[in-house]
Every structure is written in structure tokens, then in C-alpha cells.
């Protein structure tokens, strides 16, 4: 029987590769989810419609909403 001997560098390299493989697996899963979303025509229509609503000021953007909430909280605090 042959006994395999790994150096400390070999062990370190294998550890790094294992961590990188884990990250690659996560990225591939995210990519697969993105492709599924992009193939959903109804979802894409909804996203486009919501973007138009934001551009036409029918929907507040996050910053504006946060600023409004801060203003309300400050007014309540002063009372």
C-alpha cells in the first residue's frame, strides 16, 4: 500500500481550494436563480412596471421614504 504524505503547503493549498470551491458553488447557485428570474416574463414585466412607477414618482424611492420617516420621528420627538 502507498502512503500519501502531504506537506504543510499542500494542506494549506487544499484548504484554500476547498473554501474557493464553496464560494464558486454559491455563485453558481445565485447565477442559476438569476437565470430562472430572467426567464420569467411576468416577473420581468412587473419589474419594468415598478421601475416606470419610480421614474414617474408614483412610488417613493428608498431615500425619500427614509427621509420622510425621519422627519415624522423628529416632529414626534419634539412634542
pLDDT of residue 62: 79
Using CA atoms, how far apart are residues 37 and 40, in angstroms rounded to an integer? 5
For 66, half-sphere exposure in the C-beta direction (CA atoms, 13 angstrom radius) is 3
Contact partners, residue 14, CB within 8 Å, separation at least 6: 6
Q: What pTM did the predictor assign?
A: 0.49
Please give the pLDDT value at position 57.
Answer: 72
pLDDT digits (tens, 9 = 90+) for 23-51: 999 999 999 999 998 899 998 888 888 88
**Alpha helices (runs of H) in 1-79, residue ranges in sequence order:** 8-39, 41-55, 62-78
User: Which CA distances in Å does 47 have to 38, 41, 42, 50, 74?
Assistant: 11, 10, 9, 5, 34
Q: For all residues of the chain together, what is the average pLDDT?
A: 88
Amino acid at each position: 500500500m502507498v502512503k500519501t504524505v502531504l506537506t504543510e503547503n499542500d494542506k494549506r493549498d487544499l484548504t484554500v481550494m476547498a473554501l474557493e470551491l464553496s464560494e464558486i458553488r454559491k455563485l453558481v447557485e445565485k447565477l442559476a436563480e438569476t437565470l430562472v428570474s430572467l426567464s420569467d416574463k411576468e416577473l420581468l414585466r412587473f419589474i419594468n412596471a415598478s421601475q416606470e412607477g419610480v421614474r414617474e414618482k408614483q412610488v417613493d424611492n428608498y431615500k425619500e421614504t427614509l427621509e420622510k420617516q425621519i422627519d415624522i420621528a423628529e416632529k414626534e420627538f419634539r412634542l
